[in-house]
Structure 1
Amino acid sequence: MDHYDLLIIGSGPAGFSAAVRAVDFGMSVCLIEGDHLGGAGIMNGALTSKTMYELSQDYSIAARVDRGYRASALSVDYNQVLKTVITAGKEKQYQMLSQIETFAHSEKSLGKIRLLRGYASFEDPHTLYVEAKTGEKLRLSGKHILIATGSRPREYPGLEVDGEHIIDSNGIVSLKRFPERIMIIGSGIIGCEFSFIFSNFKQTEVHLIDRANRVLPYEDDDVGAYVARNLANNGVIIHHTAQLREIIRHPGGFMQTILDYDDGHSKVVEIDVALIAIGRVPNIESLKLENAGIKATDKNTLTINDCCQVLIDGIPSHIYAAGDVTGHSQLYSVAELQGRKAVENMAGTETSPLDYSHMSTLMFFKPELAAVGANEKKLQKEGIPYISAYYSNKLVNRNIAMRSTTGFIKILVSNDSEHRILGVRASGPQASAYIVSVAHLINRGDSLREVLQIFYPHPSVAEGIQECLRAIVGRSIYKPIAFPDDIIIREWTPEAKSL
C-alpha cells in the first residue's frame, strides 16, 4: 500500500490547485480522477461553455449591420464550433497534464504529484480504495485526504436525459447540429447563459421556462427585468410563470412540451431539444463516507470549518473538502481558493479565513453581468439602511465610442456618514475586468469619500463607477434631473416599504 502526504479525490479547480499548492510545501500527492482531467471546470463546464459563449458573441457582432460594415455570406457550422470548443478544453488539459508530469519526475521539485486515473472510495479514515481505469485495484493511505469531487447537473423529475433530445449542460457537446427549436428548463445563470448562446447564433428558436415570473430570482427585480429584456431583444421566447407538465415524444425526433401557467391556461410548444438547467448537485454518493465516519448534510454537502476541514461529530479532522461538495457558492474561484486554503492549513501556514460575503460573480449574458457584495434583497432582509445609485452606460464616453451602451452600474452604499460600499452590479463591456477592483474596495471597507479621490483613466468604462458614486453625493457631471431614466438615486431604511 502506497503512502502519500495528501490524497486528492477529483482534479477540478479545487483538486488541481490543492495539488500544485501542496508541491510548494514539498508534499507527496496522489491526484485521483475518474473522468476528465480538470473536472467540470474544464470539459463539461466553465471553460467549454464560456468558449462557446465567446464564439457566439463573435458571431453576433459579425452579423451586426449598424456599424458601417456588413459581413457577406456569413454562416456557422455547429460541428466546427464544437471542434473549437473541445480544442480549447484540451489545450487547458494538456497544460495541466504537462505540469503534473513535470512534478512527477523533476528532481528540482521538492514535492511530487502522481495522477491516478480511477474511482476512489473510503476504506477507513486514512485509506482509499481505488479502482483504476487500467483494471488495477489499489489501496492508498494518506496523512491528509481532500475531497474535491465537484458536482453534476441536477436531474429533472420524470425526464430522462438521453444525450440527444433531452440533455443537460454536459450534453451540449453531444449535439450534432444546432437544434431548430430548443426549450431551456431553468432561468438561473446556467439557463440564461445557454439562452444567450443559442440565440446569438441565430440558428435556433429558443424557449426559456421561467417559473418565478422573473429570471435570476435571487437578484434584485430591476436586474432580473434587465436581463429578461435583453433575452427578449436577442430573440428568446420567455415563458414567465410557467411550469413544465409533460414532454411528449413523436416519431421523427420532434417533441411537444405542455406548459402550465399560473393564471390557469396551458400551452403546447413543439421543440427538438430540451435542455435541463436547474442547478447542480454534489458528487459524494460513491465515496463510502460512512467508512470514514463522515455524515453528509440534508443537502448532500459536507460540513467544513474555516480551514476547509471536514467536521466529524463536530471535530475538525485530517480530511478536508473543497469546491461544490462544501455547499458554498458553486464558483470556480471558490473551489480554487478552498483547495489552496486546505493545503495551507495542512502545512501549518497561518492564513486568514476565507470571506464568502464579497465574492465576485460573472454571468455570461449579452452583455455580461458582474456582481459583488450584497444586493438590495439581502440588505433589506438584514435591515441594513442603504442608498442605491443606478448609472446608465448611455452616459459613459467609452461605451458610446464602443457603440455598446446597453448596461449600467448599480452601487449600494451604507446610508450613514461613511457611505461604505456594500455591493455592486455592473453590466456591459469589460464589466468582469473592473468588478474585481470594486471587490477590493468592499473588502477594505472603503468609504465613498476615499474612493472618489482615485483618478480614473479616460476614456474607460470604469468611469461609470466614478460617476455613479459622485451621483450619490450630488457631484456627478451629468445630473439625475436632466437624465431621470439614466441616473436613479434611491434610499431605503427598515421603516421603508420593502421590495
Structure 2
Amino acid sequence: MSIEKYDLVVLGSGPAGFSAAMRAIDFGKSVCLVEAQHLGGAGIMNGALTSKAMWELSRDYSIASSVMRGYRASGLNVDYKQVQKTIMQAAKQKQLQMLSQIETYAEPTEKFGNITLKHGWGKFIDSHTIEVKSEKNTELVHGDNFIIATGSRPRPMPDVEIDQERIIDSEGIMNLKEFPERMIILGSGIIGCEFATIFSNYNQTEVHLLDRQHKVIPYEDDDLSSFVSKNLENNGVIIHHTANLRCIRKRPDFLEVVLDYQDGHSKVIEVDVALVAIGRIPNLDNIGLENVGIERTDRGYLNINEVCATDDFKACNVFAAGDVSGHAQLYSVGELQGRYIVEALYGNLEYPLDYSNMSTLMFFKPEVAAVGLNEKACQKRGIPYKVATYSNSLVNRAVAMRAIDGFIKIIVSDDGKDRILGMRAAGPQASTLITSIAYQITQKGTLKDIRQNVHPHPSISEGVQECLRVFEEKSIYKPKAFPDLIKLKSWKPEKVKEA
C-alpha cells in the first residue's frame, strides 16, 4: 500500500482543525485534512451554526408575532420542515465556502502550501502514520506533525436510550418531522436553555425544562441566573427546579416522564419529545491513541501543554485542539488553539495562549454575553472587587428599540488599581458590547484607560459608558433616583459592603 506524505495531518475539520489547516498553508506546508462525517464538524452541522440559525429564525418569528409594538401580523404561521430547509441552506452555504477554499489550494504555489481533504476515519498506526478508512477504501497517510481536532458529541444520560426520534439529543433536532406539541429538555445549562428559548419562541410547543438545582446556568451569578430563568418563564417555559429524572416510559402515543423533587414529592408529566442536553464529551474513541502512547485524563480529555502539545514540545509531533483539549468548549477556543499550534510549529509566537478572556454568547431571549470573571469567581479566589449594574431601560437606543429587558454589569478590582475583571451583558447587541471589555481585560486595562471613550448616540454601547461612570459617581442617571435600575456594590474577603 502506497503512503502519501504531508507536513501536517489534521484529524477533524471543525473550527480547530480547519483553522489550523488554513494557517499551515500560509507557511507553505502540505496539509492533509481528514474528516469522518460532516465537513466543518459540529461547528457547522448539529452544533453552533445550525442551532444559531434556528435561534435567529425563532427570534424573527417571536418579533413578528408580538402585539406590543404597535402592529399585528395577520396570517402568521410556521412550518418546521421549512425551518429545517432554511437552516440546512445556511449550513450548506458554509460548507461550500470551505470546499471552495480547499479546492483553491489543492495545488501548492510559490507563496502558499496545499491542502488535501480525505473523507474517512483516521486512526494512528504510529507517531508518523495514520490509517484513513472510508466506505470505499483504506489508505495510509504519513505526517511529520499531527493535530487531533476530532471535536465532541452530546453526553449520554445514564439509563436513557437515545433513539433520535422521540428521545433525542442535539444531533436529533433536525430529525423531527414537525414541532412537537410537548417537549421536555433535560439539562439547564447553556445548550438546554438555548433550545428552551428556541422552541418557546415559536410558540408551537409546551416546553418543560429540567433544572436539577435551584437556578439555571448555575455557575453564573444569581442575578444573571434569575434573569435568564425569569425570561424563560415569561416566554412560556415551565421550569422544574430541584428535580431529578427518575425514568422515561415510552407509551404508544407519548412519553411518560417521572420527576423526583428535592422536597420528596414526585411528578409525572406527558410529553412527545425528550431532548437530552447535559453537555458534551470528546470524540477520542478508536483513533489509535494507544499506538502513540497518549493517555486520556480522568475526565476523558487530552493533556496539553502551553503550545497544545500532548508531550514535551521539542520531542512531540502530536498536538490537540478544540473540544478534545479539556478547555472551554467554544468555537473561538478551538479556532485559536488550531492557529496557535501551527504558529508554534512553523512561525514565531508573539504571545502566549490566554484563556482568561474568552467571550461566551448565550442565545436566550434576550441574548446574553459574558467575558472574564463573575462575582462567584472573584469571591472564590478572594479578589476584592467593585461591581456596577446598569439597566437597558435607561439606554436611549434600547428604549427606542422597545427592547429594555436587559442590563450591563461590569466588575473591576477594588485594590486601588481598578483593573477590569469581567463583564456580563444581557439584551440587544450584547455580543458586540462584550468585545471592547474583552480587549481591555487582555490588555490589563483599567477604568482610567477606558473612561474617556466617547460612544455614538444613540447606541447600545452608551450603556457601557454609563455603567463605567457609575463607579466614579459620574453617571447621568443616578442610583439614588433609580435604585432598582442602577446598582453599585463592593466586596472584600472579610465582608460585603453595599455602596
TM over 0.5: yes
Contact kept in structure 1, 2:301 and 2:324, CA below 8 Å: yes
Q: Please state how far the C-alpha of 1:447 moved relative to its aligned partner.
A: 1.3
Q: Please state how far the C-alpha of 1:315 moved relative to its aligned partner.
A: 7.5
Deviates more, 1:196-205 or 1:289-298: 289-298
Cα distance in structure 1, aligned partners of 2:348 and 2:291: 29
Q: Give 2:318's aligned residue.
A: 319
Cα distance in structure 1, aligned partners of 2:354 and 2:273: 40
Cα distance in structure 1, aligned partners of 2:315 and 2:494: 43
Q: Please state how far the C-alpha of 1:316 moved relative to its aligned partner.
A: 5.5
Deviations, residues 218-241 of structure 1 (Å, cap 9, x unaligned): 101111011000000000000000
Q: Give 2:91's aligned residue.
A: 89
1:430 maps to amino acid? Q
SS in 1 for 2:353: coil
SS in 2 for 1:195: helix
1:105 aligned to 2:117? no
**1:67-466 paired onto structure 2 within 5 Å:** 67-105=69-107, 107=109, 110-133=112-135, 135-252=136-253, 254-311=254-311, 317-466=316-465
Cα distance in structure 2, aligned partners of 1:53 and 1:354: 31
1:96 maps to amino acid? M
1:225 maps to amino acid? S
Identity of paired residues, percent? Answer: 60
SS in 1 for 2:459: coil
Q: Give 2:31's aligned residue.
A: 29
Q: Please state how far the C-alpha of 1:473 moved relative to its aligned partner.
A: 1.3
Q: Please state how far the C-alpha of 1:450 moved relative to its aligned partner.
A: 2.1
Cα distance in structure 2, aligned partners of 1:76 and 1:235: 18
Q: Please state how far the C-alpha of 1:106 moved relative to its aligned partner.
A: 6.2
1:403 maps to amino acid? R
Contact kept in structure 2, 1:196 and 1:365, CA below 8 Å: yes
Contact kept in structure 1, 2:28 and 2:108, CA below 8 Å: no
Deviates more, 1:344-353 or 1:298-307: 344-353
Give the alignment partner of residue 64 of structure 2, picking from 48, 56, 62. Answer: 62
Q: Please state how far the C-alpha of 1:286 moved relative to its aligned partner.
A: 1.1
Deviations, residues 301-331 of structure 1 (Å, cap 9, x unaligned): 111111111126x975111110000000000
Contact kept in structure 2, 1:305 and 1:316, CA below 8 Å: no
Contact kept in structure 2, 1:103 and 1:109, CA below 8 Å: no
Q: Give 2:10's aligned residue.
A: 8
Cα distance in structure 2, aligned partners of 1:450 and 1:142: 47
Instruction: Tell me which stretches of 4 or more aligned residues in structure 1 moved more than 3 Å.
Output: 105-109
Deviations, residues 191-237 of structure 1 (Å, cap 9, x unaligned): 00000000000000000000011000110111101100000000000
1:186 maps to amino acid? G
Cα distance in structure 1, aligned partners of 2:155 and 2:446: 41
Contact kept in structure 1, 2:425 and 2:433, CA below 8 Å: no
1:491 aligned to 2:483? no
Deviates more, 1:165-174 or 1:102-111: 102-111
Aligned pair count reads 496
Q: Where does the alignment leave 5 or more consecutive residues of structure 1 unmatched?
A: none
Contact kept in structure 1, 2:385 and 2:490, CA below 8 Å: yes
Change (3 A) 1:108 1:66: farther
Q: Give 1:49's aligned residue.
A: 51
SS in 1 for 2:344: helix
SS in 2 for 1:57: helix
Contact kept in structure 2, 1:396 and 1:464, CA below 8 Å: yes
Contact kept in structure 1, 2:29 and 2:114, CA below 8 Å: yes
Q: Please state how far the C-alpha of 1:109 moved relative to its aligned partner.
A: 5.5
Cα distance in structure 1, aligned partners of 2:111 and 2:444: 40
Contact kept in structure 2, 1:310 and 1:316, CA below 8 Å: no
1:195 maps to amino acid? A
Contact kept in structure 1, 2:451 and 2:469, CA below 8 Å: yes
- Aligned-pair Cα RMSD in Å: 1.4
Contact kept in structure 2, 1:184 and 1:191, CA below 8 Å: yes
SS in 2 for 1:184: strand
Q: Please state how far the C-alpha of 1:132 moved relative to its aligned partner.
A: 2.4
SS in 2 for 1:129: strand
Contact kept in structure 2, 1:147 and 1:322, CA below 8 Å: yes
1:85 maps to amino acid? I
1:268 maps to amino acid? V
Contact kept in structure 2, 1:373 and 1:439, CA below 8 Å: yes
Cα distance in structure 1, aligned partners of 2:305 and 2:429: 35
SS in 1 for 2:310: strand
Q: Where does the alignment leave 5 or more consecutive residues of structure 2 unmatched?
A: none
Cα distance in structure 2, aligned partners of 1:132 and 1:258: 43
Contact kept in structure 1, 2:490 and 2:496, CA below 8 Å: no
Contact kept in structure 2, 1:212 and 1:240, CA below 8 Å: yes
Cα distance in structure 1, aligned partners of 2:323 and 2:101: 24
Deviations, residues 243-291 of structure 1 (Å, cap 9, x unaligned): 0101111112x01100000000000010000000000000001111010
SS in 1 for 2:230: helix
2:191 maps to amino acid? I
SS in 2 for 1:275: strand
Contact kept in structure 2, 1:25 and 1:111, CA below 8 Å: yes
Cα distance in structure 2, aligned partners of 1:316 and 1:475: 56
Change (3 A) 1:497 1:264: farther
1:82 maps to amino acid? Q
Contact kept in structure 2, 1:309 and 1:316, CA below 8 Å: no
Q: Please state how far the C-alpha of 1:179 moved relative to its aligned partner.
A: 0.4
Change (3 A) 1:256 1:89: same
Q: Please state how far the C-alpha of 1:497 moved relative to its aligned partner.
A: 5.6
Cα distance in structure 2, aligned partners of 1:104 and 1:46: 27
Contact kept in structure 2, 1:121 and 1:288, CA below 8 Å: yes
TM-score using structure 1 length: 0.98
Deviations, residues 401-436 of structure 1 (Å, cap 9, x unaligned): 000000000110111322111000000100101211
1:75 maps to amino acid? N
